[in-house]
Amino acid sequence: MNIIVLVKQVPDTTEVKLDPKTGNLMREGIDSIINPDDRHALEAAVNLKETKGGKITVLSMGPPQAVDAVSEALAMGADRGILLSDAAFAGADTWATSYTLGRAIKKIGRYDLILCGRQAIDGDTAQIGPQVADYLDLPQVSYVYHIEKVNRKSMVVKRRLEDGFERVRAAMPALLTVIGELNLPRYPHVGRLIDACREKAPIEVWNAADIGVETREVGLEGSLTHVIKTFAPKAQREGEIIEGDVKESVRILTGKLKENRLI
Amino acid sequence: MTVWIETANCNGCKRCIKTCPYGAVELREGKAYILEHCTSCGACVEVCREKAVLTDAEPRTIPDFSDRKGVWVFAEQRNGSLNRVSLELLGKAQSLAADLGQEVSAVLLGSQVSGLAKTLFGYGADNVYLAQHRALKDYRTIAYTKVFEELVKEFKPNILLMGATHVGRDLGPRVSRRVGAGLTADCTELSIDPEEGILLQTRPAFGGNVMATIANRYSRPQMATVRPGIMEAVRKKNNRGNLIKCRVSLTEKEIGTKVLEAVRETRGKVNLAEAKVIVAGGRGVGSEAGMKALFSLAKAFGGEVAGTRIIVEEGWLPVERQVGQTGQSVRPEIYIACGISGAIQHRAGIMGSRYIIAINKDPGAPIFKVADWGIVGDLHQVVPEMTRAVSQSMGK
Ligand SMILES: Cc1cc2nc3c(=O)[nH]c(=O)nc-3n(C[C@H](O)[C@H](O)[C@H](O)COP(=O)(O)OP(=O)(O)OC[C@H]3O[C@@H](n4cnc5c(N)ncnc54)[C@H](O)[C@@H]3O)c2cc1C
Ligand SMILES: Cc1cc2nc3c(=O)[nH]c(=O)nc-3n(C[C@H](O)[C@H](O)[C@H](O)COP(=O)(O)OP(=O)(O)OC[C@H]3O[C@@H](n4cnc5c(N)ncnc54)[C@H](O)[C@@H]3O)c2cc1C
C-alpha cells in the first residue's frame, strides 16, 4: 500500500505571544515543529505500512528550512521525502496551496491513500485536506479518529462529530484528515534522524518548474483570498473590579445584576 | 514572488509593521525593513499608502462580478433538525443583504426535509433552495458538493456562508475548490466594506493570538465558514419567501462514501449554546468536589456549568462542557468565570457573552480585562455566598 502524507512545518504557536506595546507577533526564539495533527497522520501511515507493507512518501510545501520537518518524518518511518520549495510558492492561500500540493501528488503518481492533519496550528483553516481531495477527485473523510479496516478497494473509518461519531466506508484511493485522538505518535528514531539529515537522504526538493506550474497560478499571485489586516484581539470590556470583604463584594455584585435586570 | 521596501517612499508610518501576521517587518532608521522570516504573504503591500512596499507580483485586475447577487446560507440539518448555527447565519445574512440591497437565501439539502423551509423563512430567508434525494439523507461530502456546484453555477450567488461545524468545515473547502472560489475559515466577524462592497471576513489565527481580516476579491461567491455561537439568530415574523425546488441526479458510485452507522453519544445532555447563564470553572476550583459549588450556583440561576480545557483534562468535567477555541463558543446573558485565568484560547469562546463576571484571587489575572464585573477573592468563599444571594433574590 502506497501512502502519501502531507506534512506542514509550523511555529510552535503555544509559544507565540504578542508584544504588549506594539501588538506585533513576537517570533524570536520560537521553534518550528511538525504540525501536531500531521504527526498523527504519520503514525497512522507507519502503522499501516507495518501491517500492509508499501511505501510512505511525505510531501511538504514550505521554505528551505522546512526540510527539517521532512527529515523528522523520515526518522519516524517514511521512505521518501519531497519538499516543494520555490519563492513563487510564498504567500499562498489554501486555494493556491491545495493546487500546488495537488500538482505534486499527480507527479508522484501511484498511491492508495493520502493522509493529512485536520488542521495546521498556524493558519488554522482545516481546508487543505478537502481541497486537495477535490482537486484529485478523491473521496474524503475528515476528523478521522479510528481506522477500522483497510482493504484493497475500500476502507472503514470513524469520524468525530460534535455529538458523537460516524462509521464511514470510503472507496480507495481516498484522502483522510486525522485528529489527535487517532493514535500516539512515536518518537523519531535517533539513528534514522541522523541518516535523514545526511546529504544522501532520500529527500528531493521540487520547484515550480518541476511540477509544471506557472508563477501566476501559485503563491500570492495564484491566491483568491488575501489577508488585508491583522490585529491583536482586543479586550473591549475592562469593567469594574470589586475588592475586599466577601459578603460586601457579593452584595455589590448582586446590586449590579439587579440594576441591569439580570436577576 | 518577493516583497521589498522602496525606502525613498517610506514615511515610517508602521502600518506594514502592525499588519504583518509574521512579525517580519521592523523599523530601522525610521524606515520599514523586511526581516528574513518574511513569507511574502503580501499583507503589507495591501496596507501601504505610500507605495513603499513593492512586489514583483503582477497587479491583478478584479473581474466584473456585477451579475453575482444574493447572500446564501447553507441550512445544515441532521435527521430533520436544523443546526442552530444556520439560523445564526441567517441573522447575519439579513444585515449583510440589507447593506448590499440583495436577498437572503437558504440552501436546504436532505431527504424529506421540506418542512424545515418554514423555519428558514421565519429566520429571514427570502428564498429557500430545496434539493431532496435519497442519496442526500446522510451528509456525504461529494453528494452535497455536487448539488452546491450545480446551484452556484445556475444561480450565481455573491456570498455563501456555512457554519464552521464538522460538516461545514468538510463541505466548505470542497465546494470552494469545485466552484473556483476563495474560502475564509472559521470567521467570527463579517461585514460589507462600504467602498468596495466586498465581504470583509475576520477570523482568529495562530491559536487565537492574532485576528486577521481577509478579502476575497478575485472570485465569487465570497465564501466563509463561521464559528457557531457568535452571530445572532434574528426572527422575521410573518416572512413569506419562495421555495425553489431543485432537481438532483446522483449515483452511489460517484459519491464514494457510505455512512454505515451514525451514533449520537448521549453524554448527559448539555446545551451550552442556548444557556442563558453559564458558570464556568478553571484550575482554581481545585478538585472535582470543588465543582459542586459551581453546580449549585448554576442551579440558582437556572443555568449550565462549563469549564476550561485544564479542568476537562483533569477530568473534573466532561469534554462537551469545554469552552474556548478547541471547545465551544457560547453567548449567554451572563458568563461567570471562577478560578479561570483567562487565557486567549479560553477567551476566544466567551466574547459573545453579554456580561462576563470574573472571580479570581489574583487581581492581575487577564480574565479581569474582559470582565464587566470582577471580584478579587477566593472562589470557595465567593461562590457559595453568591449562590445564597442569588437564590434569595430569585426566590422573591
Ligand atoms: C493569519 C492568516 C489567516 C489565513 N486565513 C486563510 C483563510 O481564511 N483562507 C485561506 O484560504 N487561506 C488563509 N491563510 C493562508 C493559509 O494559512 C495557507 O494557505 C496555508 O498554506 C495552508 O493553510 P493552513 O495552514 O490553514 O492548513 P490547514 O488546512 O489547516 O492544514 C491541514 C493539513 O493540510 C496539510 N498541509 C497544510 N499546509 C501544508 C503544506 N504547506 N505542506 C504540506 N501539507 C500541508 C497538513 O497535513 C495539515 O495538517 C491564512 C494565513 C494567515 C497567515
Ligand atoms: C491550541 C490550544 C488550544 C486551547 N484551547 C483551549 C480551550 O478551548 N479552552 C480553554 O479553556 N483552554 C484552552 N487552551 C488552554 C489555555 O491556554 C489555558 O491553559 C487554559 O485556558 C487555562 O485554564 P485555567 O484558567 O483553568 O487555568 P490557569 O491558567 O491555571 O488559571 C487558574 C486561575 O485560577 C485562579 N485561582 C486559583 N485558586 C483560586 C481560588 N481559590 N479562588 C479564585 N481564583 C483562584 C488563579 O489565580 C488563576 O488565574 C488551549 C491551549 C492551546 C495551546
Q: Say whether A94 and B389 touch across the interface (CB within 8 A).
A: no
Res. A17 pLDDT band, cuts 50 70 90: low
Query: ipTM value of the model?
Result: 0.89
Q: How far is the CA of B284 from the centre of ligand 2 (A)?
A: 8
pLDDT of residue B146: 98
Closest among B304, B329, B59 to B186, alpha carbons compared: B329
> Do A139 and B255 lie within an 8 Å CB cutoff?
yes
Q: How many CA atoms lie within 13 A of A82 on its CB side?
A: 20
- The larger pLDDT score, comparing residue A134 to residue B268, is at A134
Instruction: Provide mean pLDDT across the span B222-245.
Output: 93
Top CATH class of B3-55 equals alpha beta
**Does A250 contact B374 at a Cβ distance shorter than 8 Å?**
no
Alpha carbon of A34 to ligand 1 centroid (Å)? 14
What dotted CATH number matches A2-217? 3.40.50.620
Ligand 1 centre from A82 Cα, in Å? 18
Atom of ligand 2 nearest to the CA of B207: 1
Distances (CA, A) of B329 to A114, B82, B226, B315: 32, 18, 11, 20
Q: What is the pLDDT of residues B36-57, one digit of tens each?
A: 878 787 888 888 888 899 887 7
Which residues of chain B are in CATH 3.40.50.620 domains?
Answer: 71-255
Instruction: Verify whether the Cβ–Cβ distance B174 to A88 is below 8 Å.
Output: no
Check whether B396 has a pLDDT greater than 60. no
Q: Does B333 touch chain A (CB under 8 A)?
A: yes
The three grid cell numbers given for residue B376, joined into one nine-digit string: 478579587
Give yes or no for a contact between A103 and A66, defined as CB atoms under 8 angstroms apart.
no
Nearest to A160 by CA among A175, A180, A174: A180
Atom number in ligand 1 closest to CA B185:
8
Number of the ligand 2 atom closest to the C-alpha atom of B326? 8
Residue A148 has pLDDT above 80, yes or no: yes
Least confident of A10-19, A136-145, B179-188, B256-265: A10-19
Q: Is the CB of A24 under 6 A from ligand 1?
A: no
Smallest CA-to-CA distance from A179 within A252, A243, A117 is with A117
- We find that the CATH architecture of domain B71-255 is 3-Layer(aba) Sandwich (3.40)
Least confident of A175-184, B64-73, B211-220, B346-355: B346-355
- Polymer length in residues for chain A: 263
Nearest-angstrom CA–CA distance, A123 and A115: 18
Three cell numbers written together for A216: 501566476
Chain A residues 175-214 with CB within 8 Å of chain B: none
pLDDT at A27 over 80: no
Give the 3-state DSSP-derived string for A222-259, with helices as H, strands as E and coil as C: CCCCEEEEEECCCCCCCCEEECCCHHHHHHHHHHHHHH
A237 in contact with B at a CB cutoff of 8 Å?
yes
pTM over 0.90: no
Give the closest residue to B291 by CA, choosing from B383, B392, B389, B367: B383
Kindly report the nearest CA distance between residue B204 and chain A, in angstroms: 8
In this structure, which residue's CA is closest to atom 48 in ligand 2?
A: B341
Q: Provide the pLDDT confidence category of residue A200 given band limits of 50, 70 and 90.
A: confident
By C-alpha distance, which of B126, B138, B70 is closest to B101? B70
Q: Is residue A21's pLDDT more than 60?
A: no
Query: What mean pLDDT value characterizes chain B?
Result: 92
Residue nearest (by alpha carbon) to ligand 1 atom 12? A93
pLDDT at B211: 85
In the prediction, which pLDDT does B33 show? 94
A150 part of contact set with chain B, CB < 8 Å: no
**Separation in Å, CA of A43 to nearest CA in chain B:** 22
B177 touches chain A (CB under 8 A): yes
> A66-105 burial, b for 16+ CB within 10 Å, e for fewer?
bbbbbbbbbbbbbebbbbbbbebbbbbbbbbbbbbbbbbb
- The CATH number of domain B272-395, selected from 3.40.50.1220, 3.40.50.300, 3.40.50.410, 3.10.20.30: 3.40.50.1220
pLDDT band (50, 70, 90) for residue B320: confident
CA of A126 to the centre of ligand 1 (A): 7
pLDDT at B294: 96
Q: Is B85 on the interface with A (CB under 8 A)?
A: no
Check CB contact under 8 Å for B22 and A25: yes
CA atoms within 13 A on the CB side of B184: 33
